[in-house]
Amino acid sequence: MKNFIKVLLIGFVSLSGLISCGDPKIDITSVAYEPKIVVEGYLFADEPVRGIRVMRNFALNQPIDTLSFILDPTITTVKINGDSLLFDIKTYSYYSNNIIVSKGSPYTLEVWGTIDGKELYTTAVTTVPADGFELIKKHPGKFKYGTPIPMDFIPLSPAGFYAFSIRPDSASLSNFIFDNEFNQDMKPEEIQKNLGEFRLRANVVFNIKPNLQDTIKQPIESYNTWFRSTYKTIIYAGDVNFKEYLLSAPNVKEFDGNFHEPKIILKGDGIGVFASAIRDTAYFEVY
């Protein structure tokens, strides 16, 4: 019995030592790829239908030519409220000169396309907000970096959802604020690699009740202004599709790598967004 235990112990320790090393590999090619029509479409009140992009999704394990994102327009049909849209070769998107988007109206999108020989169809409905918002100051002025930039507005949209796109007119290493409040040790190559992230900043507020008597204060803080430049802030009063897409689809991956499902806006074989909004722009400068 003792010899048996000796052998068992030595064997166990050796085996456990051997298999507790290593660098396991991952292979996710076994996950089945399913082709989907990808829609990126926004309607803006009082504007014609423009810039409706119809694309495809792609599998993860291969390089993709970005020009192949767009579905072949010769075998793709796009309609809004039954009217066919035309394809613009310069912008790779669909448009219509016959439809001027009205506040409070519903619009139904339908797309027929073929991906990898498979015929697909998707549809979605968006209702344009009946009202938007009133910006208190379109030109708040010039501000020293670190000063909160006032972006006050009176909420009027029944959907209660507002998104802010904050973009500098000029963004490069030459005007990047290296002495920022967060990390002063960033290397230029690191900044260059993540330039898109510093350049394109967003903010949202939602479930805001429309109210003529109240002003919502949404100052732009220093974590949204990384460059010394003039800025453009486009504010969108979006519909429920806008809200559901923005709050869910770009955030499906949790910090620890797990995923949850986004809100499904497009029915059938589609993913992406088809939404509407009322928009306005504010301008300021950071020095």
Residues in 166-225 at the binding interface with another protein, rule: CB under 8 A:
167, 181-184, 193-197, 199-200, 202-211, 213-214, 216, 218, 221-223
Tokens (6 digits) for 193: 């690699």
Task: Write the interaction track for another protein spanning residues 123-162; mark x where CB under 8 A is met and - where it is not.
Answer: --------------------------------x----x--
Binder among 143, 227, 236, 284 for another protein (CB under 8 A): 236
Residues 230 and 201 sit within 8 Å (Cβ to Cβ): no
| Closer by beta carbon to another protein, 98 or else 194 | 194
Tokens (6 digits) for 109: 């999108």
Cβ 287 to another protein, closest distance in Å?
A: 20
Determine the residue type at 109. Answer: L
| Residue 158 C-beta-side C-alpha neighbours within 13 Å | 7
Determine the residue type at 104. Answer: G
* 90 is a contact residue toward another protein (CB under 8 A): no
* 263 is a contact residue toward another protein (CB under 8 A): yes
Binder among 234, 280, 283, 285 for another protein (CB under 8 A): 234
Q: Which of residues 18-77 bind another protein (CB under 8 A)?
A: 19-26, 28, 30-36, 38-40, 42, 44, 51, 53, 55-67, 69
| Closer by beta carbon to another protein, 175 or else 194 | 194
| Closer by beta carbon to another protein, 112 or else 201 | 201
Cα(122)–Cα(145) distance, integer angstroms: 46
Q: Edge-to-edge, what's the strand order for the sheet holding 118-127?
A: 83-84, 77-80, 106-115, 118-127, 267-268
Cα(106)–Cα(180) distance, integer angstroms: 45
Strand (E) or helix (H) holding 10: helix 2-19
Binder among 169, 252, 267, 268 for another protein (CB under 8 A): 252
